[in-house]
Structure 1
């Protein structure tokens, strides 16, 4: 047969390669590297399927040019592991015609102001900026980000080590919230200046905000959270501050959660009353995280899950009543009967759970494709029996 009969256009090969992709970026890159060795044609196709690049050494402008020419469809650039002169590198990158939408500058001493200004003047397509775990953040950095990237949809400034001045950041937060009119997701965890008033301003001004992560902010109260959430009906996911006393709930606070589809209460002290109140409101939850939470029992989670028919992702790591009571597997068997739409569940560090829980989940949750049960009794019983025999 003629070889032409077996020919496939590049678009078909791209569809095949994408179909085989397991959605894990690191594995995807290794997978594409293997395919690129098959032929020059496959090399060309896989280069077009590379959308992210991490730079860890100091490249010359000529070397950068070769990279950007080889990968013409790059949209994401990660500089979080680069420890050279970041201002200079950003200036060099800005001299190329790129359609970058995501930039990661985390793990730096300070935000590279000069470099970002040069970058923003040439590359106006950025929609996601991550500056997490910076050694220090100044109040002027918020003004800088707002002025440079007004089209941002995602902003992560989480977990800075310290702030360089004693400003309360009121003007800066207001300017940021008013300028970033497309903002949908923000992470200001460990910004210790954040209080009820600033949270309210942020939620009021960011009309499209859908996800907020503001953990470890001691000045934010339950009352403040409730007022802010009610101001932003578009909000779908909010990770509550673990220092807020969630057990002191009020009807005003519960009413504010009515539109949320994702709720993360990691390491919070909650109560059965709180979970029951959420259940009675009929929140359309698809994701619930109760990792390392205290204060509630089986009765509380049973009430909530029995009313949450749309739940797809559940995290119960370190759940106390699944570690200490003799009915642990029975509890999970009963809970699984309400989780018919579940896609993923994390029961790691629930040390008393056995294969009975695993079988119940497999039988009652037909859509389940991700089960995490590390540090449970699964596998240990068989090993112990083998040793004893």
Structure 2
């Protein structure tokens, strides 16, 4: 058998490993450690690479190791190191389609030009939270990368200091992105399909008009926290005929022209936040007969008759797959019971901060929505549904459940929810003060497929209970929970596949519990010990060299080892830092 396996050609192994990779990326770790041949094959399957600062240099070795990368995500790099990474990228043989600079310092203009000249097939550029993004950078990006199809310039930092005198005399374009920059960009990026403008406070309706006029292939626009008005949104909906995704906030939809929604005949995803939305506008959406698949009406100012409009809309669009009604306090269990009859195609729903809803709504959704995978009911009134007999029906499709900030949620109620979700993979019960370790233990007995568990701010939970091994659980978030050394012993024994453990603010954690975790969790890659007052910095070197799988240890700033020690740990593949 061993001989026949060794005779298999690389192409066959690649098909096998590719299937594993599609199931879950972590499944390639073991084969890659088996032999150099398998390592080489698995390396060719990686197409995405995330590099978080600080990291070891040169990273050019990574680009040689993974020759088929098409997407590189850089996180939180400072200017000096970022320039070195850009040099490595542009001198490699990579054929990148996506570059992500989330949270990094700003790039010099020459670096933008260099990227454009060397990365001819770049189609997606993400500059989320980029420091120093102004009109001049935007113009250079447009000149250097004319084939861009997706651009994210949301939430630029542009921190020029708090001294207002320093900003005096400067034009808006010198301290941020303005309409002038967007107008130039839109005239040069004719192939642009998706753009996120969120958080650019200087942008007005002029930017929307320019984009809608010049970028005729535009299919997606996200424009939140800008200075746009109803007029700009109306222009986009009337003129961008290919637009399928639109996200807006702080718009008075009572002022929009009726014909604008009729012109936006390709809208499949519409998200409205913090806006004034009359019942009449929802009725216009019904009459528009658009291919709506995703609808968000979040924290909006609605009339007492809003249920009528929502009901008509959901009755019309019964093929809706995603629904977000966060903060619509007028909704009740009775309302949702009626609405659920129209949601047979729903895959994900969010009802956060609808404080009149109880577990009755949850059970009704689980029963009436057979395709439902993701339910978010944070900040509702779970646990206050009374003793009314409820028809509990299992829904094996439900994979993710967010119940955070439900102060009345009890162990008994959680147990009922567990019966409904036998195949749950992610559970969030952050700040659910009424839950104890018994509730979590009972839940895990019913839902053994859980991969991610968040029990942050749950002081009553000291451990996750004894029982069978939880082979799939790879993330536990226990920030400021009651987890102590005894709890870590339980986690170490039951969760041997753990990859990420957050113990921020767990005062009962000491080296005794950590020894059990590091001994048993052989795949552990990241651990957060911020605020663990009984864990000294002297144990860090022991942790790094005891568990070679560790890639990141987060400590309080006062507990950080010396810079020379951190450099030593980094050379051994583990980043030791503070948040």
TM-score (norm 2): 0.59
Aligned equivalent of 1:376: 380
Aligned equivalent of 2:315: 306
Aligned equivalent of 2:16: 13
Report the secondary structure of 1:265's partner residue.
Answer: strand
Deviations 1:279-331 (A, max 9, x none): 12222210111122221432221121111122111111222113xxxxx1111
Change (3 A) 1:64 1:162: closer
Aligned equivalent of 2:59: 64
Aligned equivalent of 2:334: 330
Counterpart check, 1:204 vs 2:200? no
Q: Which moved more, 1:2-11 or 1:269-278?
A: 2-11
- Aligned positions of 1:1-389 closer than 5 A: 3-4=3-4, 7=8, 9-21=12-24, 28=25, 30-55=26-51, 56-57=53-54, 59-60=56-57, 63-85=58-80, 86-162=82-158, 165-167=171-173, 169-218=178-227, 220-240=228-248, 242-296=249-303, 297-322=306-331, 328-378=332-382, 380=408, 382-383=410-411
Mapped to 1, the partners of 2:109 and 2:349 lie a distance apart of 42
- The aligned length equals 371
- Bigger Rg, structure 1 or 2: 2
Query: Which contiguous aligned blocks of 4+ residues in structure 1 show a shift greater than 4 angstroms?
Result: 5-8, 167-171, 379-382, 384-387
Mapped to 2, the partners of 1:221 and 1:82 lie a distance apart of 35
Mapped to 1, the partners of 2:19 and 2:212 lie a distance apart of 43
Deviations 1:233-278 (A, max 9, x none): 00001112x2222233331333343321110102222121211221
* Equivalent pair of 2:21/2:27 in contact (CA under 8 Å): no
Structure 1's unaligned 5+ residue stretches are: 22-27, 323-327
* Equivalent pair of 2:17/2:28 in contact (CA under 8 Å): no
Mapped to 2, the partners of 1:331 and 1:48 lie a distance apart of 52
Query: 1:332: how far off?
Result: 1.0
Mapped to 2, the partners of 1:111 and 1:157 lie a distance apart of 14
Mapped to 1, the partners of 2:105 and 2:2 lie a distance apart of 61
Query: 1:336: how far off?
Result: 0.9
Change (3 A) 1:91 1:2: closer
- The answer to which structure, 1 or 2, has the higher relative contact order (CA under 8 A, 6+ apart) is 1
Query: Aligned-residue CA RMSD in angstroms?
Result: 2.6
Query: 1:2: how far off?
Result: 7.2
* Equivalent pair of 1:345/1:372 in contact (CA under 8 Å): yes
Change (3 A) 1:5 1:166: closer
Mapped to 2, the partners of 1:232 and 1:182 lie a distance apart of 13
Structure 2's unaligned 5+ residue stretches are: 160-169, 384-407, 416-433, 435-579
Mapped to 1, the partners of 2:22 and 2:84 lie a distance apart of 39
